[in-house]
Amino acid sequence: MGVWPERAIDHLLGKPLLPAHPEGQGQYSMTKYWPILPHPYQAFVDPGKKCLDVRQGLAKTQEVILSFWAGDGETPTFERKWWSKSLVPVRGHLDPQYVGSTSALGPLIPRDAKQFEKSEQMFSESFRWLDLHIDRLKCYGKFDYGDFKYFTASTNYMCHPGTKWGDMGEMPREGYWNNNERDTLLGLLLYYFRTGDTASWERCRIVARHLLDVDLRHHPHWGMWTHSYGHCYVALGEGGEPDHSWLLGLLVWAGVSGDPVAWDWVLPCGERLRDVKRDFTRADARTGSVFLHMMCQFYLYTGDGKFLEAALPAIAAFLKLQKANGSWPAYMGNEEASTIEGFVEHAIMALVDYYTIRPQKDILQSIDKAIDYVFSDSKNPSVDGETMLALYGLAILAEKTGDKRYAEIAGKALENLYAAQSHARGSLGEGDLMSAWGINNSEKVAGTGRPPQFLEQTRPLVPGGLLAYAQCALAIVARATGPSKVKN
């Protein structure tokens, strides 16, 4: 793949490059501190061929714009017209009121800042985070435009004894990209259809393009890549793992865009995911939840009963391993970690999907127990970075059952999420509720020769998740409190 502009190759070759196999042939293993975080261009540059040598499995389609009427002397004029978008057809936008009336995208209402001032501010600031951070974090170029920087970890992040990579002693990843975790594309699409905001449509286009071209693995199998710096420069997994297969936004995009290529690329991701053989009693609860969520959504989009059949082992695992307090062990049947609870909101999201398709009394009872666990104080529910997934469950259940209790809890949770969100205009963490800076575990790095562990900075996880999974909750709150006064 050629580098554009061509003069960029000399600039790249003047940089210190991290070799593709720093330890020779074979599986890459991070055993030394490499003080280089490779930009995607540097990660793929081939000094000999003077081009980008991308790994097989990335599509990276490119647009070539031809002017059939402009001579060499008029090229600058043509380019000015192109970049000013004067040559681009004017796009029509659907009336948000009409979109909500169809229920095609689930429970949605048009933006109503007068009736729901705080919730709408929360959603607009979530969009603002995504809109600004492409520029703030310099997410430009063929490989990262349309993605969002997740965060940059120091070399000893989660590498102390008892943590995720404690046995390795060193962080094996050179940084993270979002790769659509919590379905940022879905959130942007729902925000666009609720608001008619043309800026959000432009973000939808570039995010969808990036997901299809870079974040989906095309060869030798299909699936969504997990986080990786330099977009899969170092193989961290085979791609398509269930815990990171947030594909609903791409399913929506395939329908919204009408692009048959998008559908032809997304469907095999679901089919491969369906055929993954996994013992969900031994997997973590997030893996089972996202898998179940996707199997239900692919069934709804295709009508193929094989997707629901594939979901049954995950359903059985959740019903079997739910604890008396309504939670699940984060690592399900792993006895060594049986006391750790987690991913309950993920499970609510997924079980509600299945219940709306195949209502079963035992599944509803399980969901209600989990809701009581997450929102133990229904009058003043505690919230965190995963609450929006439970809000999705509340919204869909309220529509399915008509039980107003779900809408009441959702309304209180939305209020508390707004209160927890950063509203500091112009700050890097604006729109986030998990942003933090500084160092952690500083006393544990003494004598190691490594820098202190970074805190989590600010990530697209919360803004994207709020837009993808909490906007539907506002619709059921609106229906419970009376009709919206928004006419158009």
Residue located via tokens 């046995």 = 167
Average pLDDT (470-486) is 84
Q: Please tell me the predicted confidence (pLDDT) of residue 488.
A: 40
Tell me what pLDDT residue 394 has.
Answer: 98
* Residues near 77 by beta carbon (within 8 Å), at least 6 away in sequence: 70
Long-range pairs for 335-344: beta carbons < 8 A, 24 or more residues apart: 342/285, 342/286, 343/284, 343/285, 343/286, 343/289, 343/386, 344/285, 344/370, 344/373, 344/374, 344/390
Summarize pLDDT for 150-175 with one digit per residue, the tens. 876 666 666 667 776 676 666 655 56
Q: Enumerate domains of the chain plus CATH numbers.
A: 96-481 (1.50.10.10)
Closest CA to 137 of 486, 459, 474: 459
Report the range of poorest mean pLDDT among 148-157, 374-383, 387-396: 148-157
Q: Is the pLDDT of residue 461 over 50?
A: yes
Q: Kindly report the average pLDDT of the chain as a whole number.
A: 84
What is the per-residue pLDDT for 170?
Answer: 63
What is the per-residue DSSP string for 330-352?
TTTT-GGGTT-B--HHHHHHHHH
Least confidently predicted of 74-78, 195-199, 348-352:
74-78
Helix (H) or strand (E) holding 216: strand 216-217
Which of the two residues, 246 and 56, has the higher pLDDT score?
Answer: 246
Task: Please compute the mean of the pLDDT values over residues 375-388 and round it to a whole number.
Answer: 95
Task: Tell me what pLDDT residue 49 has.
Answer: 83
CA–CA separation, 404 and 35 (whole Å): 55
Q: Residues 18-37: pLDDT tens digits?
A: 555 555 555 444 444 343 44
* Residue 385 CB neighbour total at 10 angstroms: 19
Could you tell me the two tokens for 238? 């085979």
Read off the pLDDT band of 64 (50, 70, 90). confident
246: closest CA among 270, 276, 219, 272? 270
Partner residues linked to 177 by β-bridges: 149
Per-residue pLDDT, 361: 97
* pLDDT band for position 487 (cuts 50, 70, 90): very low
* 154-163, 277-286, 305-314, 471-480: segment of lowest average pLDDT: 154-163
- pLDDT value for 71: 61
Per-residue b or e along 20-42, where b marks 16 or more CB atoms closer than 10 Å to that residue's CB = eeeeeeeeeebeeeeeeebbbbb
User: In this structure, what are the phi and psi dihedrals at residue 147, rounded to the nearest 5 degrees?
Assistant: -110, 175
Distances from the Cα of 180 to the Cαs of 150, 188, 208, 216, 443, in angstroms? 10, 11, 10, 10, 34
